């Protein structure tokens, strides 16, 4: 098992990439703290993790604030005795306000806070505990929106900020044995990307994903497991000499 005995926090793990990552971590032997504002979805993820055979704890809170992130990390350390891995996955989409000038100030601030400030807040809270364990791994979920014009300017700015933040802290934290890396998903089938959360019908969701797939050289949208497996790699000793890097998981979209 690649993560046997490790203790991990996965933010935004009530669904999508976060839930799949929590499940894969459990399969690899880690204890998992499921952190999300969605109590019901988070409880489902905890149940999934425990059915796999790993220990899990649900923390319901807002990790986009320093206070919320600090409390989440504190509860994780109190429950399991330490912290080895932080996955910064919490995020929201910009929605239909894709034109920069249609995005009002409140939406801009909310996207930046949830997507980018949460990475800062959780990293700030986690680093002392990772240091106490002699090192660890931080994996943040960015996006191809950091490199190409998809998703809207606020979303792209937040994801571009994650890349820059990761590269900066990777250099700072390397002497302490803490690695920091990113995974950048392309067009993936998630509740956010399909339009499920926006109320689209199953047929409309399939049509939307098919439209994405036609733009990808591999002619398919990615899956949540494509991202979860990349996160497992960056969280494990398989990537022991990798830090400050971005793994793009997009079926070749950026190089098409």
pTM: 0.94
| Cα separation, 54 vs 237, whole angstroms | 20
Under CATH, which architecture does the 7-185+223-249 domain have? 3-Layer(aba) Sandwich (3.40)
Helix 16-27, helix 39-52: angle, nearest 10: 20
Domain ranges for the chain: 7-185+223-249, 187-221
Residue 194 class from Cβ within 10 Å (0-12 exposed, 13-18 middle, 19+ buried)? buried
Could you read off the pLDDT tens digit of each residue along the chain, which spans 256 residues?
999 999 999 999 999 999 999 999 999 999 999 999 999 999 999 999 999 999 999 999 999 999 999 999 999 999 999 999 999 999 998 877 667 777 889 999 999 999 999 999 999 999 999 999 999 999 999 999 999 988 899 999 999 999 999 999 999 999 999 999 999 999 888 777 777 766 788 888 888 888 888 889 998 888 999 999 999 999 999 999 999 999 999 999 998 7
| Cα separation, 160 vs 153, whole angstroms | 10
Whether 241 is catalytic is no
Catalytic residue among 120, 155, 241, 253: 155
């Amino acid at each position: 098992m690649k993560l046997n005995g490790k203790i991990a926090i996965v933010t935004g793990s009530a669904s999508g990439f976060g839930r799949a990552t929590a499940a894969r971590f459990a399969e690899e032997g880690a204890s998992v703290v499921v952190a999300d504002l969605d109590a019901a979805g988070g409880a489902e993820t905890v149940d999934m993790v425990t059915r796999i055979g790993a220990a899990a704890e649900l923390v319901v809170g807002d990790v986009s604030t320093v206070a919320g992130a600090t409390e989440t990390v504190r509860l994780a350390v109190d429950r399991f005795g330490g912290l080895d891995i932080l996955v910064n996955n919490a995020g929201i989409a910009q929605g239909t306000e894709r034109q920069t000038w249609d995005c009002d100030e409140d939406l801009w601030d909310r996207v930046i806070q949830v997507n980018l400030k949460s990475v800062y807040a959780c990293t700030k809270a986690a680093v002392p505990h990772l240091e106490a364990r002699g090192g660890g791994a931080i994996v943040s979920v960015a996006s191809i929106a950091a490199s190409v014009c998809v998703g809207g300017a606020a979303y792209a700015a937040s994801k571009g900020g994650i890349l820059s933040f990761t590269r900066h802290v990777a250099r700072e934290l390397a002497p302490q044995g803490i690695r920091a890396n990113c995974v950048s998903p392309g067009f993936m089938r998630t509740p956010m990307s399909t339009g499920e959360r926006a109320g689209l019908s199953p047929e409309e969701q399939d049509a939307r994903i098919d439209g994405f797939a036609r733009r990808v050289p591999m002619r398919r949208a990615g899956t949540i497991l494509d991202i979860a497996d990349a996160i497992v790699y960056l969280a494990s000793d398989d990537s022991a000499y990798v830090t400050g890097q971005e793994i793009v998981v997009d079926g070749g979209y950026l190089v098409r």
